[in-house]
Amino acid sequence: MSLEILEAKSELKELIDTFSNLADEKNISGQMPLFTKDTIVKVYMGEELLFDISGTKQLEEVFTGFTADVKRSYHMNGQQVVKIDGDTATGIAYCQVKLVSEEDGKEVVMEHSIRYNDKYVRQNGTWLISERISHFNITEKRTL
């Protein structure tokens, strides 16, 4: 494996981790530069397509709405496998997410086990997410 491939893999890992760190800070606008302007994002809850998003403007609106009631969140990234092909790449990344909100005066936590199928592109020396298919494979809700 070449040094260039190792560097790209490291940069892509940092891209995914930065996305999660900004999510925990509820810094949605800070996440947008991590995507191409014409990004495609699809979100599946189980087999149901919940969101089909085009472009960072719509992505920011959807993410902001989705997290509006979230008081706290915690993202933990797991394995990531990427295939580099010059200035493009594909990858699969796993993430465990906990979202805390309030219902009927009680805190509840939604735990999601997510698999991201991503396409990446390097523009001006920076890796960006050009397409993300999010599969919320397991979701659990409980009172804290």
The 3-state DSSP class for residue 56 equals: helix
Compute the half-sphere exposure of residue 9: CA atoms within 13 Å on the CB side of its CA. Answer: 13
For residue range 67-94, list pLDDT tens digits in order.
999 999 999 999 999 999 999 999 999 9
The two structure tokens encoding residue 126: 């920076």
- Alpha-carbon span 7 to 51, nearest angstrom: 33
Q: How far apart are CA 87 and CA 101, in angstroms?
A: 40
| Tokens, residue 98 | 């906990």
pLDDT at 1: 81
Cα distances from 61 to residues 5, 6, 32, 55, in angstroms, run: 34, 34, 11, 10
| H or E stretch covering 81 | strand 72-85
Single pTM value for the model: 0.94
CA distances in angstroms from 21 to 26, 86, 89, listed in the order given: 9, 27, 22
For 59, the token pair is: 């992505």
In tens, the pLDDT along 94-106 reads: 999 999 999 999 9
Structural domains of the chain ordered from first start: 3-143 (3.10.450.50)
